[in-house]
Amino acid sequence: ARTAAVIPAAGRGVRLGPGAPKALRTLNGTPMLIHAVRAMAASRHVSLVVVVAPSDGETEVKSLLDEYEHALPERTEFLVVPGGDTRQESVKLGLDALPEDITAVLVHDAARPLVPVDTVDAVVEAVRGGAVAVVPALPLSDTVKQVEPRKDGAPELVVATPERALLRAVQTPQGFDRALLVHAHETVPGTEEGATDCAGMVERLGRPVVVVPGHEEAFKVTRPLDLVLAEAVLARRRA
């Protein structure tokens, strides 16, 4: 029984502004992807990390891992595979590369480079304890509204306000029983954009998804301001 982490890192990151693919942009001089790989390898439970690279960036990602080999634990094995057009396809390609003896899988966004090892461990431990699907999540500070999109630039209309206390912002790594996640990817159809999280596919199968506490530092680097915050978090860790 071994645990692997699949890191989808094939996104272009257009919301960050122009530049390299998101995972290859640097935070305090180190590519975001390397931070994310390190965060997974930091868990003693994780023995294999599969990086899903941009389809034209496989070689670049491989040489990046070689370059940072000294900063990664020796006990961890690494694989690099090319990604697909959506996150969902990229995750599927990562799952296809897993060896037989992997029984539990974490799926972690390269875009969440600073997740603390305690959060990773909590997810793995919940899966090993028998949960088939686990998500780290935090309560929301903003009130969330559901809107109705309208055509021709007319202002959106608010249609509902879900009770905030019952909502959670979901992070990664999400943890799964390997067989169940593979089954979900084989049976749940993809939308044009693909699923934005793997747990949603498990929910569609009617299987239980449990929540463990997430962490503020597991935030997703999406917009330019997130880069500023990420570098500040790193600076504070070094201080």
Q: Give me the least distance between CB of 23 and ligand C5P, in Å please.
A: 5
Q: Give me the least distance between CB of 105 and ligand C5P, in Å please.
A: 15
Nearest to ligand C5P of 128, 140 (CB atom): 140
CA distance 214 to 85: 28
Q: Give me the least distance between CB of 214 and ligand C5P, in Å please.
A: 16
Nearest to ligand C5P of 97, 128 (CB atom): 97
Q: What angle do CA 98, 102, 108 make, to 5 degrees?
A: 70
Name the DSSP class of 46: E
Nearest to ligand C5P of 90, 119 (CB atom): 90
Q: Give me the least distance between CB of 95 and ligand C5P, in Å please.
A: 12
Residues found near ligand C5P in the complex (CB under 6 A): 8-11, 22-23, 52, 83-87, 90, 109-111, 196, 220, 222
What residues contact 5, with CB distance under 8 A and at least 6 apart?
Answer: 40, 41, 46, 48, 49, 50, 105, 106, 107, 108, 173
Q: Give me the least distance between CB of 136 and ligand C5P, in Å please.
A: 15
Q: Give me the least distance between CB of 143 and ligand C5P, in Å please.
A: 23
| Closest to 113 (Cα-Cα) out of 193, 223, 34 | 34
User: How far from the centroid of its chain's Cα atoms is residue 174's Cα?
Assistant: 7
Report which residue's Cβ sits closest to ligand C5P: 11
Nearest to ligand C5P of 12, 204 (CB atom): 12
CA distance 231 to 239: 12
Partners of residue 52 on adjacent β-strands: 8, 81
Nearest to ligand C5P of 20, 44 (CB atom): 20
Nearest to ligand C5P of 46, 110 (CB atom): 110
CA distance 83 to 167: 31
Let me know: does 6 contact 52? Beta carbons within 8 Å.
yes
CA distance 200 to 180: 13
